[in-house]
Amino acid sequence: MLTAEIEVVVRANRSKLRTTFPPACEIIEHLKRMGWVHPIETQSFKERDHIEFLLVDAGLQDGQPVSPLELLQAWLPAGVICHFSALKHHDLTTQPAAYHHIARLSRPRPRKEPSPAAGAEQRGEPIERSPLGTDIFHFAEVACYETRRDVTFVPGIQVRVVSPRTWLRITTLEQTLLDTLLQPLRCGGEAVILEAWENGAKAMDADRMSEHLGKIQRDDLGRRVGAVLDIIGADVAASSLGRRLGALKKRLAAASAETPDIPLLRGCDFPDRSEAWKVQIP
């Protein structure tokens, strides 16, 4: 009965409530004048799209930097920071970030046979897609992208507290290294990737990487990991990763004539070859 009475009172006063509070835009402008809300300037890829970020922090000092990773996480709270962004976050490369990425994770949809009507539509003008992903905005002159990734290939995700106001969902160091072999273009290319593995081999948890590989279940990725570890001279024999790669190497040796070579990085041609892993290497 009490609930019904409250509902009647709310309905009777709904029109009054609408005039009690100022519009949201006025509240935001007032908070800006008070210094509690700070607009973050970004540049849109398209003139018709305007993205404005508002940082709520009463203690923010003028000129205090805002990380592009904060903006990406605000853009897609359920997303995962990855690729070049994760390489920089884990201090795996000294190169400045050429671009930043956040991934929307999903499971692959089953393929369906296209209908005749759909086939006619597909024969129209081709849709140009960037290999880097879907462009979102520029921040501090660096492009930020959203990409869609199969969740089964990204088992290594962690939440890191980087400041009192910022928590990031980001790939683990080990997953980030694996991503360089899965998506080399989005991770900066050959020079950045080899530098990342040289730095990462000293800091990575080999057992965790083995666990990630076990969940991803792709022999081509395991072969690339074995080849790059040989290139940088990393010894992982005593770990579960070493045992996993050792078993894979034996399987390759047993079926050597049936196993075609693959490049260390997709889309690249390399002059040398790893016989043990059947991988083309620089």
pLDDT, tens digit, for every residue of 110-151?
Answer: 665 544 444 444 444 444 578 999 999 999 889 999 999 999
Model pLDDT, residue 43: 74
Residue in this structure with the two tokens 């273009």, named with its chain if needed = 185
pLDDT tens for 187-218 read 999 999 999 999 999 999 999 999 999 999 99
Bridging pattern class, strands 157-163 and 80-82? unpaired
Q: Where are the domains of the chain?
A: 63-108+132-202, 205-282
Euclidean distance between CA atoms 87 and 197, whole angstroms: 10
Q: What mean pLDDT, rounded, does the chain reach? A: 83
Instruction: Look at the chain and count its residues.
Output: 282
Q: First-to-last CA distance in the chain?
A: 78
